[in-house]
Amino acid sequence: MGLRERWNRVAADIAGSPAYWTLTATNAGMRRALDPALAALPPGIALDAGAGGLAFRQLIAARPGIHYISCDVALSHPDLDFLADGCALPVRTAAADTVICSAVIEHVPDTAALLGELRRALRPGGRLVLTVPHFHYIHDEPHDYYRFTEFGIRLVLERAGFCVDTVTPVGGLAAFLSTLASNAFLGLCASPGFVRAAALAANRAFVAMSAALDRATGGGGKFAIGYVVSARAGVPEAAS
């Protein structure tokens, strides 16, 4: 098992727990940027499209009045509610009040088809919370197709019928470099037990220092690792 696979094992084992959000400076920055967007979610059905290891389940399901539903194209977690391609969701039109789609769009060849389907699944005015990479290493080869600037993600969302409210940058060059270091360190200490627990504790301190350095050096500018986007499904135009 290679270092990347060993790191993925660690991440999969703790996805959905609070520890997941301190695995890397990228995760920690993403959590900070996500908090305002998740706090503003409306009550009703929240569909996590591309839920992976259910990292968002604990963050969303505990919020009053929100019913969390998860799906992915592969059985990435035994608690997934159903399997589905994000470009062909087996849900009725306007079924969801919220759609979360995190670290998915870069892995889908037809971006327009995915966003169009998410738009269809949302009620008019429903909320989309999206995360996308900007300055990030290649991963999940060969299914890693795109990177987005702030302006690029606004453009594709508006073309798909969304009204973009906020695009929040996450991390910077220091966070990117420290994320690579965390991946390697935890990959070397992947086996469950005392060594992994000690490595996770040491890594949390490293992540906190890295995040502080990133903020002090202006992280989130031209070298943003990615973006958290909050958008609303526009009301379809009436047929003439």
Average pLDDT over residues 115-123: 98
pLDDT at position 22 is 92
Q: What is the CA radius of gyration of the chain?
A: 18
Q: Which amino acid is at 233?
A: A
Residues 40 and 145: their CA atoms lie apart, in Å, by: 30
C-alpha closest to that of 128 among 213, 13, 233: 233
pLDDT at position 216 is 83
CB atoms within 10 A of CB 222: 11
- Please name the residue that has the structure tokens 């990177």: 147
Residue 130 has pLDDT above 80, yes or no: yes
Average pLDDT over residues 90-97: 98
In this structure, are strands 122-133 and 226-233 parallel, antiparallel, or unpaired?
antiparallel
Average pLDDT over residues 173-195: 92
pLDDT at position 164 is 98
pLDDT at position 236 is 55
How wide is the angle at C-alpha 25 spanned by C-alphas 198 and 199, nearest 5°? 10
Residue 239 has pLDDT above 50, yes or no: no
Residues 163 and 142: their CA atoms lie apart, in Å, by: 31
Which of 6-10, 128-132, 188-192, 221-225 is predicted most confidently? 128-132
pLDDT at position 240 is 40
pLDDT at position 238 is 46
Higher pLDDT, 236 or 111: 111
Tokens coding 166:
């906020």
User: Percent of the chain beyond pLDDT 70?
Assistant: 97
Residue 16 has pLDDT above 90, yes or no: no
Q: 38-47 burial by CB neighbour count: b if 16+ within 10 A, else e?
A: beebeeebbb
pLDDT tens for residues 187-237?
999 888 999 999 999 999 999 998 888 888 777 778 899 999 999 998 655
pLDDT tens for residues 45-84?
999 999 999 999 999 988 899 999 999 999 989 999 999 9
Q: Residue ranges of the domains in the chain?
A: 25-172+219-232
For residue 105, give the DSSP letter.
Answer: G
Q: Which fold has domain 25-172+219-232?
A: Rossmann fold (3.40.50)
